[in-house]
Structure 1
Amino acid sequence: MESNILGTNVITQIGILVHDIEKTAQTYADFFGMEKPQINQTDAPELAQTEFKGESTAARAKLAFFDMGSLQLELIEPDQQPSTWREYLDEHGEGPHHIAFVVGGLQEKVKIMEANGMPLEQKGEYPGGRYAYMDTFRDLKIITELLENDE
């Protein structure tokens, strides 16, 4: 395996899958003495351009973000459409799904990771950038998300 594939070792986000985002977000807010964050939904399929395992999908998810200093905690409640979120939640239950890193040159990083046996699982767009979930579970015991933000 190549060394320092991502060009960074700074984890920017931890993603956690949940069945009930309203309840879980309130529990986290109470636990940390914070305000409950706004719960948003991922963009519609025509904007998000989500692909799961190489196929277009209408998958959407409700998201809540807690800013925890240098790290962001993301809660994810997926719909029933095919996605990494739905598959992982169905197979593993609630809990950690991914760690995320902000990278430059997302497409090149995806190619490098795939060449190192870490296939692209899901990708899509969000306002101001794009993401790619890489299947690193075999090697890292968690999925890795790459985030590339527009300037």
Structure 2
Amino acid sequence: MPRRIDHVAIIVRNLEQALSFYRDTLGIVPGEIQEVPTEQVRIAFLPLGGPEGSQLELIEPTPANVSLNKFLDKRGEGLHHVCLEVENVDASLESLKEKGAAVMDQQPRLAAEGRAIFLHPKSSNGVLLELLEKPE
């Protein structure tokens, strides 16, 4: 069962350019820009609502990330996915499989903030969902 919305991810072509709006115009102070080699992306989290609040995640694919660059070419910048925090991603994955949901991961992957799986948009009314288990 999801606990809360952890973050909403926005895919961008240029992270610094996107930050000029979110940071400089809206005044949201980002955390450190992270390189995530396993996902071939650069990301910045922009926290909202204090320690238990949600975040915006800006994602810039590296040139090597073929699937996200195809996504950008096809759909342009904008909403990429919604991430829901779960207590146990392994149990969530098994439950979703049993219920016939179209999962994109057969086992959790390492994400910037923990272990995660993605659900195909055809199972969730056209929205790419990430389920994330954060470390204790």
Q: TM-score, normalised by structure 1?
A: 0.73
Q: Per-residue deviation at 1:19? A: 0.2
Q: Give me the whole-angstrom Cα distance separating, in 2, the residues matched to 1:127 and 1:99.
A: 15
Distance 1:137 1:63 in 2: 26
| Residue in structure 2 matched with residue 30 of structure 1 by the alignment | 24
Amino acid at match of 2:97: E
Q: What amino acid sits opposite 1:89 in the alignment?
A: L
User: Residue 128 and residue 64 in structure 1: after superposition, are their counterparts in 2 closer, same or farther (change >3 A)?
Assistant: closer
Secondary structure at the residue paired with 1:140?
A: coil
Q: Deviations over 1:86-115 (max 9, x none)?
A: 343232111001111111221221232234
Whether 2:7 is the aligned partner of 1:13: answer: yes
User: Counterparts of 1:137 and 1:94 in 2: how far apart (Å)?
Assistant: 21
AA matched with 1:136: P
Whole-angstrom CA distance in 2 between matches of 1:33 and 1:76 = 19
Q: Which residue in the other structure is 1:141 paired with?
A: 126
Distance, in Å, in 2 between the alignment partners of 1:149 and 1:131 is: 9
Distance of aligned partners of 1:139 and 1:71 in 2 relative to their CA distance in 1, 3 Å threshold: same
How many Å apart are 1:28 and its aligned residue?
0.8
Structure 2: tracts of 5 or more residues without a match: none
Q: Which amino acid aligns with 1:60?
A: Q
Counterpart Cα distance in 2 of 1:18 and 1:127: 17
Q: Name the count of aligned residue pairs.
A: 131
Q: Report the residue type matching 1:142 in the other structure.
A: V
Question: What RMSD over aligned residues (CA atoms) do the two structures have, in Å?
Answer: 2.4
Identity of aligned residues (%): 26
Letter in 2 for 1:110: L
Question: Within 5 A, what are the aligned runs for 1:1-151?
Answer: 7-8=1-2, 10-42=4-36, 44=37, 48=38, 59-69=39-49, 70-82=53-65, 85-115=68-98, 116-121=100-105, 124-126=109-111, 129-137=114-122, 139-151=124-136
